[in-house]
Amino acid sequence: MTTRPIAVVGASAAGLAAAEALRRGGWRGPLTLIGAEPHLPYDRPPLSKQLLHGSWEPDRLRLRTEDQLAPLDLDLRLGTRATGLDVATRTLTLDDGERLRCAGVIIATGVAARTLPGADRIAGVHTLRTLDEALALRARLANGGPPGSAGVAAGGGGGGGRCRLVIVGNGVLGCEAAAVARELGHEVTLVGIDETPMAAAVGTEVGALLAEEHRARGVRLRTGAVDGFETAPADPAGAGAPRVTAVRLASGGVVSGGPPGSAGVAAGGGGGEVSRLPADLVLLAIGSRPAVEWLADPALDTTDGLRCDAYCAAAPGIYAAGDVARWDHPVHGRPLRFEHRMNATEQGMAAARNLLAELAATATAVPGAGDDAPSQERRPFAPVPYFWSDQYDLKLQAYGLTAGADRVETTVLDRAERRLLALYGRDGRAVGVLAAGLPPRQLRTLRAVIATPLSWEEARERVGAATAAG
């Protein structure tokens, strides 16, 4: 009897964690791992930090080597995309036309970078989501911009001269990339719709402190919406894609900061009325969209990710994990979707465990599972969300839910040492906490406060006691 495989779609951190958990859980049948990129599974957070900076090379991002993957006995399909899924028969369609009927499917396709119309046809305009995109931007920064760009004065950017980098989007990715580019000596303008960096993720008070840090490092901060790009021919003969020369803003907006000693307003300004930002390079960091466009089966809800129940199941035998999954969080009582690294690994393992538990209750699992496979029941996935962001020598760490809070209380413990703490509340309960500059012991205490959301006042007292003790 031929055993149908379990297929994991997405050779990401979540997908790899799921594949490893399936083997640990006793699945001995065929196991297919499908990845759209040609690379072995790698870690994404360093893309906007160590890799972009040049302090790490791509091999260091690998989550597993080929030798480490070998014991999993994977049918590894790299450079392959899933283009469809029939939910009723659990049949995947791949981009080469193959139809793969599966015992179960775990979807871990993550997210794709958002872009702007026409940006893909302009040299020097980048996104930063994949390894190849990060390497392309790193090379341009090292060379001072795209071929034919004016650049700035020599003396930075890895020996290729400084360039004028405009980063569109002042969320986590945009802020991290801005910090790296400034450390490399480039001129950086950070543009966002929100007045303060990372406001949607951490609130305006913490965002204002981040803005101070970026200004002190020489980053120009702009508020406004991008209207388009200005370009010039790639070379005098007009061959090749046009190269970017400036970013246009829809309206004046406000500009602040800049290199030490500068006026803080871009050329042509006058009270913040500038609508043109000269640029040798542009990074679009305007968010992401869940990679669900290939899931057209009406049995699936793909509104803001793949909708799942508390067990990470989107349908019988179909589970999801990582950035693409929007599932019912049993503690917070509403569907949530996290684009956080730790959640990807934890959810990949949870989805694998629950899929095996479901299959164990049916004849589907019998041919592929070992006789010693543990008997288990499905368990709700209820993590304490965690994320971090490194900018310059500042490290932000957060537990719980910081976005969407209706109450935020920020305490600056030591401005010179950049030690701060913020508590986030929703509907009368404390649901998140963020800290910078605190020792690990205090961070563990803060996590315990958020693990089971408390009333605002009780959490506030416990957080105060934890910081006072440290």
Read off the pLDDT band of 257 (50, 70, 90). low
E strand or H helix at 396, and its extent? Answer: strand 394-400
**What percent of the chain has a predicted confidence (pLDDT) above 70?**
87
Same domain, 232 and 149: yes
pTM: 0.90
Distance in angstroms (rounded) separating the CA atoms of residues 244 and 241: 10
Same domain, 259 and 167: yes
The domain total for the chain is: 3
Same domain, 314 and 239: no
Same domain, 293 and 251: no
Within-domain flag for 378? no
Same domain, 257 and 136: yes
- Whether pLDDT at 82 is above 90: yes
Boundary (domain end) residue, out of 227, 249, 284: 284
Boundary (domain end) residue, out of 348, 365, 382: 365
Angle at 101 between CA 95 and CA 104, to 5 degrees: 105
Domain residues for the domain of 148 are 119-284
Same domain, 247 and 157: yes
CATH number of the domain bearing residue 410: 3.30.390.30
Within-domain flag for 265? yes
Lookup: tokens for 116: 């702007």
- What integer is the mean pLDDT of 12-29? 97
- Whether pLDDT at 137 is above 50: yes
Distances (CA, A) of 43 to 61, 268, 317, 341: 5, 42, 27, 8
Which of 156-160, 278-282, 363-367, 431-435 is least confident? 156-160
By the 8 A CB rule, do 110 and 305 touch? no
Same domain, 275 and 339: no
Within-domain flag for 381? no
User: pLDDT for 333-366, tens place per residue?
Assistant: 899 999 999 999 999 999 999 999 999 988 654 4
Distances (CA, A) of 55 to 62, 137, 366: 15, 15, 48
Cα diameter, the chain: 77
User: pLDDT for 34-57, tens place per residue?
Assistant: 999 999 999 999 999 999 999 999
Same domain, 292 and 357: yes
Predicted local distance difference test score (pLDDT) of residue 272: 44
- Whether pLDDT at 321 is above 70: yes
Within-domain flag for 150? yes
Higher pLDDT, 43 or 447: 43
**What percent of the chain has a predicted confidence (pLDDT) above 90?**
76
Within-domain flag for 83? yes
Same domain, 32 and 151: no
Within-domain flag for 446? yes
Same domain, 175 and 304: no
Predicted local distance difference test score (pLDDT) of residue 464: 84
Predicted local distance difference test score (pLDDT) of residue 190: 98
Which of 311-325, 359-373, 375-389, 401-415 is least confident? 359-373
Boundary (domain end) residue, out of 284, 317, 345: 284
Same domain, 169 and 183: yes
- What integer is the mean pLDDT of 281-306? 97
Same domain, 106 and 130: no
CATH number of the domain bearing residue 309: 3.50.50.60
Q: Which residues contact 263 (CB under 8 A, 6 or more apart)?
A: none
Within-domain flag for 267? yes
Predicted local distance difference test score (pLDDT) of residue 237: 60
> Rounded to 5 degrees, what are φ and ψ at 204?
-75, -30
Read off the pLDDT band of 251 (50, 70, 90). low
By the 8 A CB rule, do 394 and 418 touch? yes
- Whether pLDDT at 230 is above 90: yes
CB count in 10 Å sphere of residue 153: 8
Task: Give the chain's mean pLDDT.
Answer: 89
Within-domain flag for 384? no
